[in-house]
Copies of this chain bind each other. A is one copy, B any other.
Amino acid sequence: MPRPLLLSPDRLFPSDPAQRDIARRLYKEVADLPIVSPHGHTDPGWFAGNAPFGNAAELLLHPDHYIFRMLYSQGIPLDALGIRNRDAEPRESWRLFAGNYHLFRGTPSRMWMDWVFAEAFGFDVQFSAETSDLYYDRITEALATDAFRPRALFDRFGIEVIATTESPLDTLEHHAAIRTANESGEWGGRVITAYRPDPVVDPEFEGFRDNLQRFSELSGEDAFSYAGYLAAHRNRRAFFAEMGATSTDHGHPTAATADLPYAEAEVLFARVTGDKVSAADAELFRAHMLTVMAGMSLDDGLVMQIHPGAFRNHNPWLFDHYGRDKGADIPMSTDYVHALRPLLGRYGNEAGLTIILFTLDETSYARELAPLAGHYPALKLGPAWWFHDSPEGMRRFRSQMTETAGFYNSVGFNDDTRAFLSIPARHDVARRIDCGFLAQLVAEHRMAEWEAAELAADLSYNLAKAAYKL
């Protein structure tokens, strides 16, 4: 007999009755606020073309590296799951997922998926080997209907605005198509882009020199001279801003920044665009460019996001056979105190600049990031990120950040996902955890309930809009 699938209205609230009652009241006021998604990785093509999503496995299993990395960790081959393998029968891959759904107990993926199953698709029995085909068929059928096309889901999910992330080499055609649909009244959804220049900033990025060639073409500047390269950035940033972008995003292995004199930077640029690039030069150039990008943000008003600290593609065999973003990126211990000083020394006192900093190294929360953000006007703290975007991860974030940085140096929630259907679930988890955290402060008489209610709305909605200028 399949087990019932129930989403408790009290899920994720503290079980202490005093705290739970307060959390319920706080949550009630924010549960239905619109979703502001200022950073993520959904595909703008979905909203431009509005084509139906495929089958259950294609939508929910193949693109979700949280899901397939866990299955892989228990010895299930990626091939059998249909990862980069068109020969796999999707229903069979789905059955492997279903039969191993117990592996996700205690993980956020389990909570997100259960929300998608119950709320998006209306299931009332649990996902398991026994219900695998029921799930596969009903989901696949639903996806063929108009109600499950991307724009309909966007509207149904109450998304006020969503940001995607594109490289400067992207022509933003999908965003243009969405804008046309907006202007014609065909669809009102707001989908903006963000400027993520890693492919033309990181000399170790695949195809860096080809990327610079394309960067030149798109910008009409000579991106192989340092002056032209900087002009090309200014040009593309302006184009992105015109297409709605309010932010940039920078994914670097470390948080290193540097602030080189122009002439030194010019010489370094010549080296990193040359034939052989040393690891030290690549790191120094990335470090320098973070400071350059902060300067450009001060000029053009784009909010700057920094996402450092992942060792990308840790598993060489997997990378060779399946490529990047397959669940093999591993966080590293990351220094911020020394690393950020060149950038903060140059621009940290600018109250008109917003730098939103993320970390994969939770040890820096109370030790480095809260003290930095609790001092520098330009610095704000991004929410608990990636592996830490989870109930316990969010609790650690709040309990380690707040006492030094307060709530107002944080910026609300980011879903940061390409798993479109899980977006409401992710925001809901964040709202519930924040309400529970606030409820504890109220129950311990560290804050009045009216203050917690103001904060609940700020953390769920207002801070993200303000910090990202949305």
Contact A445 B408, beta carbon cutoff 8 Å: no
Q: Which residue of the partner chain B has the closest CB to A15? A: B443
Contact B366 A406, beta carbon cutoff 8 Å: no
Q: Which residues of B contact A69 (CB under 8 A)?
A: 374-375
Contact B455 A403, beta carbon cutoff 8 Å: no
The docked-state distance in angstroms from the alpha carbon of A373 to that of B314 is 12
Partner of A373, one of B73, B332, B337: B73
Cβ-based interface call for A368 (8 A): yes
Q: Which residues of B contact A88 (CB under 8 A)?
A: none
Q: Which residue of the partner chain B has the closest CB to A366? A: B362
Contacts known (A74-B377, A106-B406, A377-B73); A19 close to B11, Cβ less than 8 A:
no
Query: C-beta contact mask, A395-410 vs B, less than 8 Å → 1, else 0?
Result: 0000110111111110
Q: Which residues of B contact A440 (CB under 8 A)?
A: 15
Q: Which residue of the partner chain B has the closest CB to A405? A: B73
Query: Sorted from nearest, which 9 A-B pairs have the closest CB atoms?
Result: A75-B351, A8-B445, A15-B443, A11-B445, A390-B403, A106-B402, A15-B18, A331-B367, A330-B371
Q: Which residue of the partner chain B has the closest CB to A454? A: B102
Contact A345 B361, beta carbon cutoff 8 Å: no
Q: Which residues of B contact A392 (CB under 8 A)?
A: 399-400, 402-403
Contacts known (A15-B19, A403-B391, A444-B14); A333 close to B74, Cβ less than 8 A:
no
Contact B75 A13, beta carbon cutoff 8 Å: no
Q: Which residues of B contact A205 (CB under 8 A)?
A: none
Cβ-based interface call for A86 (8 A): no
Contact A337 B328, beta carbon cutoff 8 Å: no
Q: Which of A91-99, A267-275, A315-323 is the interface stretch?
A: A315-323
Residues of A351-391 contacting chain B, CB below 8 A: 351, 360-363, 366-368, 370-377, 379, 387-388, 390-391
Q: Can you list 16 A-B pairs with a CB-CB distance of less than 8 A?
A: A73-B375, A74-B408, A102-B451, A103-B406, A105-B451, A107-B404, A317-B345, A327-B375, A330-B371, A333-B363, A333-B367, A333-B368, A362-B366, A370-B387, A390-B404, A391-B403
Q: Give, as a whole number of angstroms, the nearest-CB distance from A435 to chain B.
A: 13
Contact B374 A70, beta carbon cutoff 8 Å: yes
Cβ-based interface call for A72 (8 A): yes
Q: Give, as a whole number of angstroms, the nearest-CB distance from A176 to chain B.
A: 35
Cβ-based interface call for A420 (8 A): no
Q: Which residues of B contact A361 (CB under 8 A)?
A: 367
Q: Which residues of A contact B (CB under 8 A)?
A: 3, 7-8, 10-19, 69-70, 72-75, 102-108, 111, 311, 314-318, 327-333, 335, 337-338, 341, 344-345, 348-349, 351, 360-363, 366-368, 370-377, 379, 387-388, 390-393, 399-400, 402-409, 440-441, 443-448, 450-451, 454-455
Q: Which residue of the partner chain B has the closest CB to A395? A: B399
Q: A102-B454, A315-B348, A332-B338 are in contact. List 5 more A-B contacts (CB 8 A).
A: A8-B445, A15-B443, A16-B16, A314-B372, A362-B363
Contact B337 A371, beta carbon cutoff 8 Å: no
Q: Give, as a whole number of angstroms, the nearest-CB distance from A165 to chain B.
A: 22
Q: Which residues of B contact A105 (CB under 8 A)?
A: 406-407, 447, 451, 455
Q: Which residues of B contact A368 (CB under 8 A)?
A: 330-333
The docked-state distance in angstroms from the alpha carbon of A108 to that of B405 is 11
Contacts known (A391-B403, A446-B391); A74 close to B328, Cβ less than 8 A:
no
The docked-state distance in angstroms from the alpha carbon of A455 to that of B368 is 32
Contact A446 B403, beta carbon cutoff 8 Å: no
Q: Which residue of the partner chain B has the closest CB to A365? A: B362
Q: Which residues of B contact A379 (CB under 8 A)?
A: 73
Contact B366 A393, beta carbon cutoff 8 Å: yes
Contacts known (A73-B374, A455-B105); A314 close to B332, Cβ less than 8 A:
no
